[in-house]
A and B are shown apart, each in its own frame.
Chain A
Amino acid sequence: MNDRLEKRLADIVLYGSVGAVLVFFYIPIATLILFSFTESRFLSWPIPGFSLRWYGELLADRSFWSALGNSAVLAVLATLFATVLGLAGAFAWSRYRFRFQWGFRVLTFAPLLFPQLLLGVVMLLWFSVLAGWLNMSPGLWSAVIGHVVYIVPFCIVIISVQMQGYDDTLDYAAEDAGATRWQILREVTLPLLWPGIFSAATFAFLLSWGNFYITYSLSGSARTLPTFVFSGIAVGSSPIYPALATLTFVPALVLIFAVDRLRRRADRKRALARAAAEAG
């Protein structure tokens, strides 16, 4: 085949596929944003007129506020635990070598390879038994545990990736300068891993915030935003759900871009340092 023709064809396929997939990814998101401004009670096209009335209805809905509160509590707690445990796990994954490390890795990675519903269901069975013994019923607490088990592997992977680029001689240099283990961690290791820890925390937050399957299985009668929407649309669709979607998209988008800026700044600094060292 003619090389130029081949290149042209390849370009069409490649650029086309990226364009198409972005459109594909944003179809439902754009649809939701569009419908959130409808005037009508019915979610059908074309939209008869624009209004903000469904935002008002949503904000007046008490169960929305309680779901929002639950989502926030759940996400904050899950993020906190998952990030700290993920950081610890990342050390064991990528910095240490020890007996039975293979087993440790398999165990802490396994939830990532589990269909979420099954993870939730399996834990639900156990929590129901526990709850019977301890005389308490599944609720937000069990959802927090479920989220932590599900999210920790993501945090381990993200922080481990950051550790790959870490130069250990920096730790030795700190030790040589007289630092104790704790001082090394605080003064050198953690500040340098910070971009990774921060992205892990963001990822954890968003995974928890948007999680449906595990919350659905484990939160008992407590509702979070995803389960609130699920039970709502099971009964009948209403424009308050697109309004809710639009409201929650904005903070997520801001968060993702903020993390990205931070991360890129750190990466650039590292690249510069490396370039300077090589040029030296």
Chain B
Amino acid sequence: MAMQDKSWRDGALQLSTLPLLVIFAAFFVIPLGMTALLSFQGTQYYRLVWTWDLDIWRDVFGQWHYWRIMWRTLVMALVCTALTTVLAVPIAYAMINRLSKWSHHITLLMVFAFLTDAVLKTFGWVLFLDRSGVLNGMLAGLGFGPGAVDVLFSPTATMIGMVYNLLPYTIFTTALSMARIDRDLVLASYDAGATRLRTFFEVTLPLARPGILAGAVLVFVLALGVFLEPKVMGGGTSPMAAELIRQSFETRVNWPLGAALTIVLIVIGALVLAAAGGLAAIRMRRSKA
């Protein structure tokens, strides 16, 4: 659809932007600035003290403990991104190209699963994977010993939970970009003598790349901030950065520390976003040239 040029004096533009701008400034931009400021303060006896120094930052970068948790968070986020991205490709492809008659119902089933309360679903996984849960119960019925699968309360369980909660994002973005591929391009490839597999790698996959990249970036950023899965499924044995942030607010009541850790995670996320954005921009410029 055509875009209408609007000046900021136009009432319609003001009506459609100003409320959002005010709300996002007041409850998103200012809080972000506030968080940055807080990271330069200190605490004493569980109370905030306006010290304006770098103590917290020295602490964050100086302690091995934080480095280790940050490293673990990064690795977990990367593994989760890789798994969800790779898994999404065949699923999205099948939904768009093979099951087009059913893709609508499949999408609905996925949306429902996606929108359901994450706490409950994660709890459902605990019940399923537990030593005396459904999986082991069924395996025992097949003749395996009791507790044949013992993954609950381990990083593997955390990863299962993360993949479970984030996979819909990559499936949706990948399927969306695959659905937009002109079917004639695929037919042209067959016509040129390419096999299905060849066509998939030469035509479909490159054209779907923007969606795949977008999904991967989204999952990575979201994976940086999980604490439900490490806590409920990982049993708190291998905490990730978000758990650290939660603790610094709740148990240790050290707001400046929590603020600094939050900033670190936001910066990592922003860097990845910027890198992906840059990559996409370069590709776009090249394909236009």
Contacts and interface: CB of A to CB of B under 8 A. Distances in A.
Contacts of A34: 134
Interface stretch (A49-57, A58-66, A92-100, A270-278): A92-100
Interface centre among A29, A31, A46, A203 (most CB of B within 10 A): A31
A268 interface: no
Interface in B108-165: 108-128, 130, 132-134, 136-138, 164
A212 B115 contact: no
Contacts of A137: none
Contacts of A126: 27, 30-31, 34-35
A133 interface: no
A74 interface: no
Nearest to B225: A115
B51 interface: no
A88 B16 contact: yes
Q: Is the interface of A mostly helix, strand, loop or mixed?
A: helix
Contact of B133 (A45, A253, A256): A45
A91 B1 contact: no
Contacts of B111: 256
Interface stretch (B89-97, B204-212, B278-286): B89-97
B226 to A, nearest CB: 7
A275 to B, nearest CB: 17
Which bucket holds chain B's interface residue count?
A: 35 or more
B132 A45 contact: yes
A1 B195 CA distance: 9
Interface centre among B90, B111, B122, B269 (most CB of A within 10 A): B90
A229 B258 CA distance: 25
Interface centre among A21, A94, A233, A241 (most CB of B within 10 A): A21
Interface residues of A, number: 95
Contacts of A190: none
B19 A14 contact: no
Interface in B3-23: 3-8, 12-13, 15-17, 19-21, 23
Interface in B255-285: 255, 258-259, 262, 265-266, 269, 273
B115 A88 contact: no
Contact of A145 (B27, B91, B217, B242): B27
A89 B28 CA distance: 16
A197 interface: no
A167 interface: yes
Contacts of A203: 115
Contact of B127 (A1, A31, A260): A31
Nearest to B35: A122
Nearest to A81: B23
Q: Is the interface of B mostly helix, strand, loop or mixed?
A: helix
A32 B123 contact: yes
Nearest to B258: A121
Contacts of A225: 117
Contacts of B20: 85, 88-89, 92, 104, 108, 152
B99 interface: yes
Contacts of A88: 15-17, 19-20
Nearest to B29: A107
Given A31-B128, A181-B12, A118 B225 contact: yes
B221 A28 contact: no
B71 interface: no
B179 interface: no
A13 B86 CA distance: 13
A128 B5 CA distance: 41
Interface string A94-119: 11111100001001101111111110
Given A44-B137, A181-B12, A233 B232 contact: yes
17 contacts: A26-B113, A27-B125, A45-B138, A98-B7, A104-B17, A117-B225, A117-B226, A121-B249, A122-B35, A125-B255, A210-B115, A213-B225, A227-B119, A253-B112, A256-B115, A257-B108, A260-B108
Nearest first, the 7 closest Cβ-Cβ pairs linking A and B are: A115-B225, A28-B124, A45-B137, A126-B31, A14-B94, A44-B132, A210-B117
Given A233-B126, A260-B104, 13 more contacts: A27-B128, A28-B120, A28-B124, A31-B125, A108-B24, A122-B31, A125-B34, A166-B1, A210-B118, A226-B118, A233-B123, A253-B112, A256-B111
Interface of A: 1, 3, 6-7, 10-11, 13-15, 17-18, 21-22, 24-32, 34-35, 43-46, 85, 88-89, 91-92, 94-99, 104, 107-108, 110-118, 121-126, 129, 145-146, 148-149, 152, 163-164, 166-168, 181, 203, 206-207, 209-210, 212-213, 225-227, 229-230, 233, 237, 241-242, 244-245, 248-249, 252-253, 256-257, 260, 264
